[in-house]
Structure 1
Amino acid sequence: MAKRLHHARCVQFQTNVDANHVFGAPAVEAFATLHKRAALPASGVYRHPIPLRAPSSGEQYAFEVDLDACTGCKACVTACHALNGLDPGEAWRSVDLVVGAEDAAGGLQHVTSSCHHCLDPGCMHGCPANAYVKDPRTGVVRHLDGLCIGCRYCTFTCPYGAPQYVPRLGIVRKCDLCVDRLAGGEAPACVQGCPNEAIRVRLVTPSEVRARAERGDFLPHATHPGLTKPATVYRKRKWPEGARLADFERLRPEEAHLPLALMLVLTQASVGAVVAGQMVQHAGVTPASWAGIHAALALGAAVLALGASVLHLGRPLRAWRAILGIRHSWLSREVVAFGLFAALSAGAAAQELGLLPALSPAMRQAWDLGTPAAGAVGLWSSVMLYHRTARPLWNARRVAVRFVLSAVVLGSAATLLCMAITTHGPASAETVRWFRILAVVLIAGTAGKLVAEGAIFLARKRGPGDPLGQAALLLLDALYQWTVLRFLLGWLGGVVLPVLLLLPQRAGAPLPAAGTAAATALLLAGELVERTLFFRSGVAPGRGGSKR
């Protein structure tokens, strides 16, 4: 059935090309050809499907879509796929079905959508490798394939799902409005393929785009246009009441992004460990061997985190390009900050282990302050990196609570573990006091974090039509087993074991190394599950081109 449908669409596309080949001709010649064929519109008014001139200063190309003429045949999708030679499963244009409320009359509308070549493109501002450019002459947002590192951050920052990751190439690709065809006077593939002439290309001005964005004049089911100011113009006489995607109730977990989950957990554990370790070290309650082991542990976590982040790239050998967008990309800032943090941590570990000469007291104090400061900048960059995507579950407040408390919990656990394995024999009263302080911080941080994570469940009453409601339903339905596992690991490792094994610690007794190791392992596993759920339930607010 699928093969027959694909064949039918290909035949339809070829028919459309044959019938509409005049779109590539000059306007007068096209009009004459249509007049000769008696194929002029019923209205008697002929309109060329592309502008008769190139954009002048202060103008750009934009799609114009007459939704009342769109039948959902997907000839535009087939045309785009064929003429651009896309991979199987790759689509630069999609057709969604929008429906109205159950009691609304005429509540069904097909919506064809592609890249909107926004005035303020999220993909370009988010890209750490400067692989996007907005052409100053045409306004087309172009992706430079040769500069892409395959980090896929643009697939987060574009609220309309335009960039598509291509595993075979290890990069993303997207619609370029067939700008080369436009330069030669030919219509884009989707325009030429549409049998109803529902898609055209027109010229727009920035002031026109901003005015429509301020009015919210766009697609009712998509992200508000004020975020990136999409240039596409949609024409529709009247939207059905309560318009929404037909499959809005379908729960679709997002990709897990395991390397990113591991990177986030380990960087936050490393930053937390440095801060907690410095507090304990300055209290003078640790043996001589403690500092070197603790510094090496924090450094190891940071290095593993950076290594995991490289595994996420489609082109890992070009990872160095990730710092090029530091002026506009939070991802570049995160890479630079954590790179500096890792370098400072390496220096601290080398000094503690005697591999480097000791610094002067003033220099060492500056070094000790600079290391956690670089880590804090990296952590904040991680927060803003996800806040920039405009996904409600990933707003700055929610993400900051998760990431900061992860640093507190894992840093406390790592420091407790180092204290337990380096303190041989009976522990002094002061050592036990700090051990119990960190145990209390661990318990409070874990409980607070689990409560904050569980607060999202209150949004389930909003239903699947709301991004937060869909996230809550995903966690309680499709991802239910993982959600239970996350909370079980968190309560056991961060509350139950510390209360039973760590808080009762008394002076003169050995520190419970085995119990501390078990609690740390459970906490680390729980945080990894939580961060995977963070990605899988991070639903975008609307797509206007939805999930391609």
Structure 2
Amino acid sequence: MNQELKKSPAMDSMVNSFDPATMSDTPTQAPTAQSSHWEIRTQEQDYAFLSDKEHAIENRYGKRIDLVELTDKPKNRSMFINENPEVGSNPNRNKQHGFFFTADNCIGCHACEAACSEKNENPAHIAFRSVGYVEGGSYPDYKRMNISMACNHCDDPVCLKGCPTRAYTKHAEYGAVLQDPETCFGCGYCTWVCPYNAPQLDPVKGRVSKCNMCVDRLEVGLKPACVSACVGNALDFGVIENTPKNREQCKTSIPGFPDPEITHPNIRFQQTKTLPDDMNRTDSMPVKYHKDQDGDYRPVIDQKAGKEKHWHLDKLSSRENPLVLFTLFAQAAFGTFAISFLAAILGFDVFVRFFHSDMFLPLTLLSLAMTAFALLMSVTHLGKPMRFYRGFNNLRYSPMAREGFGLTLFTIGCGITALLLIPHNEWLVTTVKQSLGVDLAKLLSAFAVENAPLFSASFAVVSGAAGLYYMNKCYQIKARPFWHHIQTATAFSGNSLSLGAIISGMLLLPTLTVQNATEHELTQALIVLGAVFIIGLVIEAIGLLKHNYDMNRSSNEGGAAHYIQCTTFGKSYLFRNTLLALNLVFTATLLVMTLNTELSSGLYLAWLIAALICTLTSVIGRALFYVLVIPTTMPGAFFWKNKAFEQHARDIGLADNPATGVAPLAH
């Protein structure tokens, strides 16, 4: 098993460890066996031992608790902890385990957080388990509820399905969702899809790591380090659905906890103390929680930033800038190639003529170069760029893997099409022969197959469409409601059409002019490209209207993100939307003029202005897309796990102290 479960560097020799097979019912009796699963440094207390005797057959979601029955793996398979082939003798090692958190008992001491970080040797800016809190009421009836949260080792782990490298595994042993940092290439997609902020992306090491359920301790009958360190008896652990002693409840939710239906997490809660109807987060996120009629707390918008609109253009730049370029260039490249090719297939004379001209080769090469640049930008976004090839490991589940695979096939399709076009390119063949004395037509005669470019171009279009489809699926994330909307699809497809029409026109129209095309042919080309351009703008505008309508009526994190969009970035958002609306009217007018008047340099200039405006609105819109999203994550503390405080620490230089826990601005 590839899993980062570390030994204590201070221990060089074998030491006594607890093994359930050698223990009596009294956990304090000294064990006689030895094991190297986990090296023990201090005597464990009674409460640190697992004590599950019985368990249910299914959990409340209808999933089997005995996981070995769901797999073809041997019941006594070794987990190779610390590269040791021994098999633990825990009688419940093949049952789904989980955490139990009693909020009434948590005093916010962070002992669990410290114990976890100590055992896993985490740096200050990484915490597999974090303690945050929500508060409400007013003096003297002020209430505060602490929340300790780590990985919940879910029944339906979205991190596992989303990871393109297959760094995650759901094990039959304890139901642990384990992640291998050595397989990870640091894309951070698992941190996007997880609703609980469990996977931690280390910007220094450029990779993700997370809670491993302390399976090394479980193998020898001990509870995880965080549970054993809990001062207030707030954390407990065992076979899922087994309510610990002296507990009254076994709920699946608590104020501040995201919807458990997203992943079916293996954590249960108790919270019996009366809380105010409104519980506030103390971090900077504009979300609070309101008790509804059934007694459950739902997220609502907390207008912490007021209602004043700002520009904040400087904040549009983020560490996701490579993804802004990746998505825009990939969409524009596909649109450029697909529009010209499909228009030729549909029988538009000028596009048929362009497809058979020498200039379709440069267009193909340009589409290939733009896609290659886009893929390069996606690679530079990785924490471990040299491991980019692992991005295809999880084609079975990961939309990110499928996105990259589709765009790679599109690039290959464009390359093959370009190779097949070279023997038919008279200008290139003549120029190379005159300057170098090489007869390209003869050299590449094997590729001069009739209709071969047609098939390779069709392959490229299909592959590119699949890549863009899965690009949209990458952002349809339940843990990020601001993205989980049709507007993501309309923005991506709209930009592909509008930007593709711009670049196609920049190649097609000069080519037709050089070929002495008639004004009718030029008009036909401009009308087709202009119509596609306008359709792209219309699709994008419809998506924005729908998104604005839905987010204004949403009380979840999507609505909170839209609130930030309308306040912190209110003027930038209004500017982009106004430009888009004006450009739509402007281009519609230009299209009518193109249909009814003669072509002129003034008309071409007007279309160029419309193209520049579209490019500007596309860049602003995509930057807002990445900056604004608010995930469904657990509340942070007032200082740490608080984005506003992290920025404050950077502004005043506190972040330069490595002990403060503020992650460097790197990926």
| Structure 1 counterpart SS, 2:630 | coil
> Which segment drifts farther, 142-151 or 423-432?
423-432
1:284 aligned residue: 349
Please tell me the residue identity of whatever aligns with 1:298.
S
Greater helix fraction, Structure 1 or Structure 2: 1
| Per-residue deviation, 1:59 | 1.2
Q: Which amino acid aligns with 1:297?
A: L
Give the 3 Å change call, closer, same or farther, for CA 390–442 of structure 1 in structure 2: same
1:64 positional shift = 1.2
* Compared CA separation, residues 510 and 27, structure 1 to 2 (3 A): farther
1:417 matched to 2:506: yes
Structure 2: distance between partners of 1:50 and 1:387:
42
Q: Return closer, same or farther for 1:186/1:152 CA change in 2, 3 Å cut-off.
A: same
Which residue number in structure 1 is paired with residue 562 of structure 2?
472
Cα offsets for 1:488-524 (capped at 9, x unmatched): 5545666536745994475565696655555434423
Q: Does the alignment pair 1:534 with 2:625?
A: yes
Match of 1:442, SS?
Answer: helix
Distance in structure 1 (CA, Å) of the matches to 2:391 and 2:207: 14
Q: Which runs of 5+ in 2 are unaligned?
A: 1-16, 31-44, 53-89, 244-249, 288-301, 306-314, 424-439, 643-667
Q: Which SS does the other structure have where 2:260 is aligned?
A: coil
The question of 1:524 aligning with 2:585 is answered no
The change in CA–CA distance for 1:216 and 1:56 in structure 2 (over 3 A counts) is: closer
| 1:49-198 paired onto structure 2 within 5 Å | 49-52=48-51, 54=90, 56=92, 59-99=95-135, 107-198=143-234
The one-letter code of the counterpart of 1:84 is: N
2:259 aligns to what SS in structure 1? coil
2:163, 2:190 within 8 Å by CA — same for their partners in 1? yes
Which residue is equivalent to 2:453? 364
Aligned to 2:536: 445
1:232 to 250, 261, 267: 267
Partner Cα separation in structure 1 for residue 18 and residue 583 of structure 2: 67
How far 1:55 moved relative to its partner? 5.4
| DSSP 3-state at the match of 1:68 | coil
2:152–2:266 Cα contact (<8 Å) kept: yes
Q: Which residue of the partner structure matches residue 9 of structure 1?
A: none
Alpha-carbon offset, residue 74 of structure 1:
1.8
Please report how far the alpha carbon of residue 305 of structure 1 lies from its aligned counterpart in structure 2 after TM superposition: 0.9
CA gap of 1:328–1:461, structure 2 versus 1, over 3 A, is closer
- The letter for the 1-side match of 2:496 is A
Question: Which amino acid in structure 1 is aligned with residue 463 of structure 2?
Answer: A
**1:194–1:57 Cα change, 3 Å:** closer
* Greater Cα offset, 504-513 or 331-340: 504-513
Sort the Cα spacing of 1:423 and 1:343 in 2 relative to 1 into closer, same or farther, 3 A: same
Contact 2:487 2:540 in 1 (8 A): no
Give the AA of the match of 2:329: L
User: What SS does the corresponding residue of 1:201 show, helix, strand or coil?
Assistant: strand
CA offset at residue 243 of structure 1? 5.4
Counterparts in 2 of 1:508 and 1:92: CA distance versus 1, 3 Å: closer
Query: Can you give the 5+ residue segments of structure 1 that lack an aligned partner in the other structure?
Result: 1-21, 34-45, 209-214
Structure 2 counterpart of 1:341, from 406, 410, 430: 410
Aligned residue identity for 1:69: N
Identical columns (%) = 25
Distance 2:421 2:377 in 1: 26
Q: 1:126 to 1:245 in 2, by over 3 A?
A: farther
1:160-309 correspondence to structure 2 within 5 Å: 160-204=196-240, 217-238=252-273, 240=275, 242=277, 244-247=279-282, 248=287, 249=302, 250=304, 257-282=320-345, 283-285=348-350, 286=353, 288-309=357-378
The structure-2 alpha-carbon separation of the partners of 1:112 and 1:257, relative to structure 1 and needing over 3 Å to count, comes to same
Q: Distance in 1 between matches of 2:258 and 2:465?
A: 31
1:15 aligned partner: none
Q: State the Cα distance separating 1:47 from its structure 2 match.
A: 7.3
Structure 2 distance, partners of 1:224, 1:104, is 32
Which residue is 1:11 aligned to?
none
Structure 1 residues 508 and 200 mapped into 2: Cα distance closer, same or farther (>3 Å)?
Answer: closer
How many Å apart are 1:187 and its aligned residue?
Answer: 3.7
1:364-418, Cα deviation, whole Å (9 max, x unpaired):
3332322211111111111111114442222252322221111111111121222
Output the CA distance in 2 between the equivalents of 1:537 and 1:344.
35
State yes or no: 1:406 paired with 2:469.
no
Contact 1:501 1:515 in 2 (8 A): no
CA RMSD of aligned residues (A): 3.5
Q: Which residue of 2 aligns with 1:387?
A: 476
Q: Scaled by the length of structure 1, what TM-score is found? A: 0.82
CA, structure 1 residues 360+447, in 2 after alignment: closer, same or farther (shift >3 Å)? same
Q: Which amino acid aligns with 2:207?
A: I
Q: 1:102 to 1:344 in 2, by over 3 A?
A: farther
Q: Distance in 2 between matches of 1:466 and 1:389?
A: 11
Give the 3-state SS of the residue equivalent to 1:429 in structure 2.
helix
Question: What secondary structure is seen at the aligned counterpart in 2 of 1:70?
Answer: coil
Q: What is the CA-CA distance between 1:441 and the residue it aligns to? A: 2.8
**Pair 255,508 (structure 1): closer, same or farther in 2 beyond 3 Å:** closer
8 Å CA contact retained: 2:186, 2:206: yes
Query: C-alpha distance in 2, partners of 1:268/1:219?
Result: 41
CA separation in 1, counterparts of 2:493 and 2:521? 27
Contact 2:400 2:474 in 1 (8 A): yes
The amino acid of 2:99's aligned partner reads F
Distance 1:545 1:325 in 2: 32
Of 483, 502, 506, the match for 2:573: 483
Does the CA contact (< 8 Å) of 2:176 and 2:213 recur in 1? Answer: yes
Query: Which entry has the higher C-alpha Rg, 1 or 2?
Result: 2
Kindly state the Cα deviation for residue 94 of structure 1 after the two structures are TM-superposed.
1.5
Aligned-partner Cα distance in 2 for 1:55–1:403: 52
Contact 2:530 2:591 in 1 (8 A): no
What is the alpha-carbon distance in structure 2 between the residues aligned to residue 327 and residue 239 of structure 1?
46
C-alpha distance in 2 between matches for 1:103 and 1:217: 30
Counterpart of 1:38 in structure 2 is none
Contact 2:523–2:594 at 8 Å: present in 1 too?
no
SS at match of 1:423: helix
Deviations 1:19-69 (A, max 9, x none): xxx999978666689xxxxxxxxxxxx973441473537512211111110
Q: Distance in 2 between matches of 1:517 and 1:170?
A: 42
* Structure 1 residues 179 and 220, CA gap change in structure 2 (3 angstroms): same
Stretch deviating more after TM superposition (438-447 or 143-152): 438-447
Note the alpha carbon deviations across 1:72-107, whole angstroms, 9 max, x for none: 222222222233221222111122222457899675
Equivalent pairs counted in the alignment come to: 507
**Cα distance in 1 between the residues matched to 2:584 and 2:358:** 26
Residues 225-283 of structure 1, C-alpha deviations (whole Å, 9 max, x = no match): 12211101112225635454524235699965111121111111112112211144452
Change (3 A) 1:51 1:171: same
* Counterpart amino acid of residue 60 in structure 1: Q
- Quick check: 1:55–1:137 contact (8 Å CA) kept in 2? no
Instruction: Identify if the C-alpha distance between structure 1 residues 242 and 542 changes in structure 2 by more than 3 Å, giving closer, same or farther.
Output: farther
Give the secondary-structure state (helix, strand or coil) at the position aligned to 2:182: helix
